Structures are given as C-alpha cells and as structure tokens.
C-alpha cells in the first residue's frame, strides 16, 4: 500500500511539474511583452528577452497616446465590436432557432450552405467582398466594417445545435397558451439558452475585437481604422525610425486587456450557466 501511495504521489508530482513547465513556457511571451513595454528603446534592443526592465519607464505608453491615433482606433473598435456582438447574438440565435424548430422549404439546403461556408477559408472571400462593397457604395464606411460580418455561420451552427437539445414540450405548452413563434423564442426558449448565448457572446466579442482581415478590404481611410488595423499599420513602420518595441508592445498589450477582462467577467457566468444547463438536461 505504501509503495502504491508513493508511486501515486510521485506521478502526481511529476504531472504538476510538467503542467507548471508548460504554463511557464506559455506565459513567458506575455511576461516579455509586459516587461518590454516598460523598457527604454536601447534596453529593449540590447536585452529583448529580459523579463526585468532596466530602467523602468512609461515612455512607451506616453508615445502610444501622443504619437499614434490609438484613442481613435480604440473608439472605432469599441463601436464595431459592440454592434457586431449584439447583432451576432441576436441574429445568430434567431437563425439557429428557425433552423432547429421551424419547418419550411429549403431548411436543410440552408443549413448545408452554412456548414459549407464554415469550411471556406476567409482569404478566398477577400476579392468578392471588396467587389460587393464597392459595387453597393459601402466601401470605406462603418457599414462596410459591420454589415458583411454581422451574422456568423459558426454562431448559427452553435445556436441551432443547442436549441435542438432543448425539450420541445416547453414550447408546445407555450403555443397552447397562445404564444406565437417569436414570443415562444423570446420569452421561453432564449432564457433557456443562456449557456449557448454566453459562449456566443465571448466568441463574438473576441472575434470582432481582433478582426483584421476584413478591415483590409473594407476600409482604407485612417479615420476608420480599428485597433488591429491601426496596430498593423504601426508595426509596418508608419512612425518611421527605429524598432520602437516598447511603443508597439505597449499598444498591443492595451489591445489585449479588453478581451481578457470580458473573458474573465463572462467566464464565471458561463460556467454557472453551463452547470445549470447540465442539471436541467
């Protein structure tokens, strides 16, 4: 028994050591990013992998706000992200409910098309997107940034699969009481879909905030640049001289913070909602 306990403790200790090692390997680039944002340019160039700034300075962050259009990029990203997240949660859930519960001609064909869209690489759609936006006069506008990506095929798929897992008896009882299709969806089914909605909210926010490829074909005016597009322009050397690692990594860190905050906030509700959903099932 003692030998078995010793082996169990040894294997557990070894497992934790391996997990800690890979956790450190995964976190080290983020540590370097944070440390470099507080370095001077000579220190960042001389010691790029050092996790300790010497000396510590806020010069990189001062340059971010004084020498770049970061506040404008943040405002554009916030506007686009909020609209896209709200639109995707609403429209994806409505489309998912229609495909899961309503019976109409072409339903299977539409769902097959959605699956096919998920399999198409986004880069293939760059030129068609540009041609469509230009033809309809939407190019270089907020409409071009939002409308083409307002509905997400993956979100529709997630919501459809979740709605199909819910018991039909609840909806039938609502219809007996006189509730229509939209009333049933909005008042009965949607509250039950909280775990899926929270998952979709996190995915949509993260995807919209980090969206870069679509902005390349949607806008060219610097006044409409979102944060990823602005950072790409910054990294490509728009400020001219020097590597300016503290400035670039400081801006990248500030772009990462909102996504991390939203994920931490929603993670608690997501886990709680998932547990409630499993208990009901």
pLDDT in tens, 81-127: 999 999 999 999 999 999 999 888 888 999 999 988 888 888 888 88
Task: State the average pLDDT over residues 256-271.
Answer: 75
**What is the pLDDT, as a whole number, of residue 274?**
46
**What is the pLDDT, as a whole number, of residue 136?**
92
**What is the pLDDT, as a whole number, of residue 41?**
84
**What is the pLDDT, as a whole number, of residue 91?**
95
Nearest to 245 by CA among 51, 44, 82, 103: 44
**What is the pLDDT, as a whole number, of residue 236?**
73
**What is the pLDDT, as a whole number, of residue 241?**
56
- Write out pLDDT tens, residues 18-74: 999 998 888 888 889 889 989 888 888 888 888 888 888 888 888 888 878 888 999
**What is the pLDDT, as a whole number, of residue 278?**
40
Determine the Cα–Cα distance for residues 110 and 275; give it in Å rounded to an integer: 32
**What is the pLDDT, as a whole number, of residue 276?**
46
**What is the pLDDT, as a whole number, of residue 1?**
57
Q: What mean pLDDT value characterizes the chain?
A: 85
**What is the pLDDT, as a whole number, of residue 221?**
93
Residue 200: other Cβ atoms inside 10 A: 24
Collapse the DSSP code of 99 into the 3-class scheme (helix H, G, I; strand E, B; otherwise coil) and give the result.
helix
Task: State the average pLDDT over residues 121-146.
Answer: 90
Determine the Cα–Cα distance for residues 20 and 121; give it in Å rounded to an integer: 35
């Amino acid at each position: 028994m003692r030998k078995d306990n010793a082996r169990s403790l040894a294997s557990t200790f070894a497992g934790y050591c391996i997990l800690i090692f890979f956790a450190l390997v995964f976190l080290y680039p983020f540590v370097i990013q944070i440390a470099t944002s507080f370095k001077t340019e000579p220190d960042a160039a001389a010691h790029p992998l050092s996790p300790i700034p010497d000396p510590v300075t806020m010069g990189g962050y001062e340059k971010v706000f004084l020498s770049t259009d970061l506040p404008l990029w943040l405002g554009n990203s916030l506007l686009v992200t909020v609209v896209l997240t709200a639109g995707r949660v609403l429209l994806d859930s409505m489309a998912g409910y229609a495909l899961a519960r309503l019976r109409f001609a072409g339903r299977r064909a539409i769902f097959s098309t959605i699956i096919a869209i998920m399999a198409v690489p986004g880069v293939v759609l760059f030129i068609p997107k540009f041609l469509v936006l230009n033809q309809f006069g939407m190019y270089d506008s907020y409409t071009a940034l939002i409308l083409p990506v307002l509905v997400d095929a993956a979100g529709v798929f997630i919501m459809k699969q979740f709605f199909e897992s819910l018991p039909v008896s609840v909806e039938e009882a609502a219809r007996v009481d006189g509730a229509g299709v939209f009333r049933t969806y909005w008042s009965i089914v949607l509250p039950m879909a909280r775990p899926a909605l929270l998952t979709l909210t996190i995915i949509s926010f993260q995807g919209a905030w980090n969206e870069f490829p679509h902005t390349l074909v949607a806008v060219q005016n610097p006044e409409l640049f979102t944060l990823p597009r602005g950072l790409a322009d910054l990294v490509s050397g728009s400020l001219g001289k020097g590597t300016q690692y503290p400035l670039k990594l400081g801006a990248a860190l500030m772009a990462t913070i909102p996504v991390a905050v939203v994920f931490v906030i929603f993670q608690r509700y997501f886990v709680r909602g998932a547990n409630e959903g499993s208990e009901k099932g």
